[in-house]
Amino acid sequence: MNITTMAEQEILLMKGNEAVAHAAIRCGCDGYFGYPITPQSEILETLAAEKPWETTGMVVLQAESEVASINMLYGGGGAGKRVMTSSSSPGVALMQEGLAYMAGAEIPGLIVNVQRGGPGLGTIQPSQGDYFQATRGGGNGDYYLIVLAPSSVQEMADFVDLSFELAFKYRIPVMMLSDGVIGQVMEKVILPPFKPRRTEEEILHQCPWATTGRRGGHPINVITSLELQPEAMEKHNIHLQAKYDEIRKNEVRVEETLIEDAEYLIVAFGSAARIAQKSIDDLRAQGIRVGLLRPITLWPFPYNRIRELSASMKGILTFEINAGQMVEDVRLAVEGRTPVCHYGKMGGIVPTPDEVCQQLISNFNIK
Amino acid sequence: MTQEIIIAGFGGQGVLSMGKILAYSALMEGKEVSWMPAYGPEQRGGTANVTVIVSDQRISSPIVSTFDTAIILNQPSLDKFESKVKTGGTLIYDGYGISIPPLRKDINIYEINAMDAAADMGNPKGFNMIVLGSLLGLHPIVQIENVLKALRKTLPARHHDLIPANEEALRRGMQLIAK
């Protein structure tokens, strides 16, 4: 929808899912492959309505399944193209084999997961139950994805380009871990400026590893995750681990709110961080000094920052819309320096800000 | 100022559209806005609801515990949301199909008969605009001019001939609540 205001940039009102689709077209995405599933079907619908193949030349394809989508990503990314797919929890579960292959073969690509309740087919309502799946991987072997957790429609738009930049910088699949709240909510958004798709020559120059058809006297490039010699596979793994260390060093992102004088800390990501934001406003109004730390990257996780903060906190509440997944990482960071507890709901039930306030007060016996 | 509003009724009554038009109107006024649907397997005849927040400040959570204003269009929604209205808040409900009216004494309750009014006007599809008009008659969250602008922006051009009928419905709603 095109709503213009007095501002220089056009401020639009749209769903998080729609913002992802528009941002993809604008940031030079070469191809989208996906299969419809609630609560993210607007991504494919918006792309189909916008017909970017007529403007930027971006390919939009409804694949026959999620397994097909992720393998199309393997092919497109292997050729140096900026390619993406999107799905929701059970659909992303189907993609795990392909993700491990992409990680092993060092193929860049963007996977958007708009989470819903699980396990299995679960419900269609919002959830954050795929934290483990995203940060630990459902695929095999020693690999990680970079995982970004948008908490607004604006970040749904902004993180698309960021994901592609990171994916190509490190030759790694990047996941945007969103959920049904951020996918379905309509908020104000300013879309990123248009940037053209990369030309074949630019890809040839920027991605010397890509399977571009040996034009320009290129050596033979092989994209594979298979290696029959264990010594060679070990060497490849050591290389991957060094890359992951580099990412841990460079790419941790957090947002901190009212931390300076805080006695208590809430750690929350994505939509839960938005709910917690209102909770801390309400708690502060009651005179309780509480701050919010929002991991923006779930992998790499902000262990060091949480460790630093834990020394001065009387208690830390991890709030997630699941049974307690990120809380394990928070505990690893805190190492027993201060009490850590979890609050969350499962199956598609979204807690309200009041419930989070009550949990903080009751867990830490705040008078 | 922040207004946290729930609009709830049957699927097919235009609950989500009403919320969307309110949200677009607020955007026209340069306000902060969020529109969060309960997007379950809603369908015509089932229940549907949407939370709309309009504010002068950045909106923290699109999910809220309680509401300043509830617009209630059927009995199941009344049962679910009457207790969620803040003390001193507002509950507007359409009397059609309500067998157990709201009982709370600590909120301001207004019954409208938008269903009857829509039938009187010969414009049954204008029902949700009558309801929206009632809300705006009580709380001028947005100017009616901006609602019309929002309609012009959100309706496909082929439906722009319906805008005068919508305006009429909005103004009828404002009169209903003024009585």
Cβ–Cβ gap B23/A13 under 8 Å: yes
C-alpha A217/C-alpha A239 separation (Å) is 27
> For chain A, how many structural domains are there in total?
2
**pTM of the prediction?**
0.95
Q: Is B24 on the interface with A (CB under 8 A)?
A: yes
Beta bridge partners of B85: B67
Residues of B in contact with A354 (CB under 8 A): 65-66
Q: Are B46 and B13 in contact (CB under 8 A)?
A: no
Q: How confident is the model at residue A8 (pLDDT cuts 50, 70, 90)?
A: low
- Same structural domain for residues A20 and A158? yes
Q: Which of B27, B63, B153 sits opposite A350 (nearest CB)?
A: B63
pLDDT at A184 over 80: yes
Q: Give the nearest partner residue to A353 out of B32, B35, B65, using CB atoms.
A: B65
Lowest-pLDDT choice from A232-236, A286-290, B38-42: B38-42
Instruction: Decide if A229 is inside a domain.
Output: no
CA distance A159 to chain B (A): 20
Number of domains forming the structure of chain B? 1
Average pLDDT over residues A92-96: 98
Asked if the C-beta of B154 comes within 8 angstroms of chain A's C-beta atoms, the answer is yes
First CA to last CA across chain A, in angstroms? 49
In a domain, A104, yes or no: yes
CATH of the domain at B115: 3.40.920.10
Interface contact flag, B34 A2, Cβ < 8 Å? no
Same domain, A270 and A176: no
Same domain assignment for residues A280 and A194:
no
Question: Across residues A222-250, what is the average pLDDT?
Answer: 97
* Mean pLDDT (whole number) for A27-52: 98
Q: How many CB atoms lie within 10 A of CB A356?
A: 27
CATH number of the domain residue A343 falls in: 3.40.50.920
A157 and A62 in a single domain? The answer is: yes
Which residues of chain A does B33 touch, with a Cβ-Cβ cutoff of 8 Å?
A: 13, 186-188
Which pLDDT value is given to residue B32? 97
A186 to B28: CB separation less than 8 angstroms, yes or no:
no
Q: Considering the domain boundaries, does residue A228 fall inside one? A: no
- A190 & A268 share domain: no
| Binary contact (A354, B65; C-beta < 8 A) | yes
CA distances from A326 to A276, A298, A340 (A): 15, 8, 11
ipTM of the complex: 0.94
- Tell me the C-alpha to C-alpha distance, in Å, between residue B166 and each of B54, B124, B153: 22, 11, 14
Instruction: Say yes or no: B60 contacts chain A, CB-CB below 8 A.
Output: yes
The mean pLDDT of B45-72, rounded to a whole number, is 95
Whether B23 and chain A come into contact, CB under 8 Å, resolves to yes
Min Cα separation A160/chain B (Å): 21
Task: Retrieve residue A144's tokens.
Answer: 């990680």
User: From the list B40, B62, B154, which residue is nearest A185 (CB)?
Assistant: B62
Q: Do A278 and B60 touch (CB under 8 A)?
A: yes
Chain mean pLDDT for chain A: 96
Residue A180, pLDDT above cutoff 80: yes
Q: Which of B33, B61, B65 lies nearest to residue A274, judging by beta carbons?
A: B61
Q: What is the pLDDT averaged over residues B132-136?
A: 97
pLDDT > 50? residue A3: no
- A139 and A44 co-located in one domain: yes
Whether the per-residue pLDDT at B160 is higher than 50: the answer is yes
Same domain, A194 and A265: no
The band of B43, judged by pLDDT with boundaries at 50, 70 and 90, is: low
Which member of A2, A181, A187 has the closest CB to residue B63? Answer: A181
Q: Over range A95-113, report the average pLDDT.
A: 98
Q: Do residues A194 and A261 share a domain?
A: no
What is the structure's pLDDT at B179?
62
Distance (Å, rounded) from C-alpha B13 to C-alpha B50? Answer: 12
Q: What is the per-residue pLDDT across A148-168, written as a single tens digit (0 to 9) for each?
A: 999 999 999 999 999 999 999
The percent of residues above 90 in pLDDT, for chain A, comes to 94
What is the token pair recorded at A173?
A: 């699949």
Residue A134 lies in a domain: yes
Distance CA B74, CA A85 (A): 40
- Going from the C-alpha of A286 to that of each of A280, A282, A318, A363, the distances in angstroms are 10, 7, 20, 16
Interatomic CA distance for residues A12 and A176, integer angstroms: 22
A184, A277, A352 member nearest B36 (Cβ): A184
Look at residue A1 and tell me if it is in a domain.
no
What per-residue confidence (pLDDT) applies to A2? 45
CB of B98 closer than 8 Å to CB of B75: yes
Place of tokens 């917690």: A276
C-beta of residue B7 within 8 angstroms of C-beta of residue B127:
no
Contacts of A353 in chain B (CB under 8 A): 60-61, 63-65
- Tally C-beta pairs within 8 A across A and B: 76
A5 versus A38: which is more confidently predicted? A38
Domain range spanning residue B89? 2-178
Before B41, cis peptide (omega within 30)?
no
Pair A197, A88 in one domain: yes
Question: Residue A10 above 80 pLDDT?
Answer: yes
Distance from CA of A359 to the nearest CA of B (A): 14
Q: CA-nearest residue of chain A to B31?
A: A188
The average pLDDT across B106-111 equals 97
- pLDDT, position A6: 42
User: What is the rounded CA–CA span in Å between residue A179 and residue A170?
Assistant: 25
Using a CB–CB cutoff of 8 Å, tell me whether B43 touches chain A: no
Identify the closest residue of chain B to A281 by CA–CA distance: B60
| A192-228 tens-digit pLDDT | 999 999 999 999 999 999 998 876 676 789 999 999 9
Q: Do B65 and A13 touch (CB under 8 A)?
A: no
> How close, in Å, is residue A5 to chain B by CA atoms?
7
Q: How many CB atoms lie within 10 A of CB B149?
A: 18
Q: Residue A18 belongs to a domain with what CATH number?
A: 3.40.50.970
Mean pLDDT of the region A102-131: 97
- Note the pLDDT of residue B12: 84
**Beta bridge pairs of residue A83:** A31
Kindly state the average pLDDT of the residues B87-100: 95
- Whether residue B28 lies within 8 A of chain A, CB to CB, comes out as yes
Q: Identify whether A222 is part of a domain.
A: no
**What is the distance in angstroms between the Cα of A214 and the nearest Cα belonging to chain B?**
49
Domain range for residue A175? 12-201
Distance CA B44, CA B120 (A): 23
On the question of pLDDT at A56 being above 70, the answer is: yes
In total, chain B counts a number of residues equal to: 179
